[in-house]
Amino acid sequence: MLLEIIVLDAADARAAAAGGADRVELVADMAADGLSPDPATVAAVLAAVSIPVRVMLRTAPGFAADVPSLRTTLRELRAAGAAEFVLGFLDAGGNVDGATLDALLDGFPWTFHRAVDHAADRAAAWRALAGRPGLTSVLTAGGPSGMGEGLPVLLAEAPAHGPLMLAGGGLRESYLHPLTTAGVRAFHSGRAVRPGGRWAAPVSPDLVRRLRYAVGPATPSTLPSGS
């Protein structure tokens, strides 16, 4: 089982690793649902932990792409040491923006983030992502409002997409059993591992440890390639 934790800085990353996280997703500005961090933060987090660090590639709120800005940011993040990324964009029709993905992807392991939950056609979005080089995870809550409403969608999709599915967006311990039974093997958490569920509070190793215990142990055979 893979457990990924959202972190904002090196202290968060150390706490996540101490609690048993397998991987962290490094972002900035959660008020905007997560944007790219600055290169100095990337370097500090990479120096702080030995577990994989996936860095958000997103320069503005929403799911539209400014390709020149994204290319510049990608170069800066890679220069700081980032080697794995989280990204995802939709075109004006609400479809996976394959042209932007083609313009940015360059052989690194990556996650397609919750843009899939805002796509005009989820089934078409999954088809558009199938087979893309380097893709190891699709972060989804089953719908735009979170897992509270999207859980039935995740359970229905898991038989076909379980190996790629990274379940996150309002994850609760009570969701773990049905999701793992359905075939989901990767989980993502942010607020739930911070005291009071506040982004201003630091990641708690004890809360990560509790979630790690609930999710189950990581085993090499269940970790997606690139992790």
| Chain segment 8-23, per-residue pLDDT in tens | 999 999 999 999 999 9
The DSSP symbol for 224 reads P
Residue 200 lies in a domain: yes
pLDDT band for position 219 (cuts 50, 70, 90): low
Q: What is the domain-level CATH number for residue 115? A: 3.20.20.380
- Rounded distance, CA 166 to CA 187, Å? 5
Residue 60 lies in a domain: yes
Residue range(s) defining the domain that contains residue 202: 2-219
| Chain segment 70-103, per-residue pLDDT in tens | 999 999 999 999 999 999 999 999 999 999 999 9
In the block, residue with structure tokens 């719908």: 143
Number of domains making up the chain = 1
Query: Is residue 25 classed exposed, middle or buried when 0-12, 13-18 and 19+ CB atoms within 10 A define those classes?
Result: buried
pLDDT at 221 over 90: no
pLDDT at 224 over 50: no
Residue 226 lies in a domain: no
Q: Is the dihedral of CA 30, 105, 134, 40 positive or negative?
A: negative
Residue 225 lies in a domain: no
Distance, CA of 80 to chain centre: 20
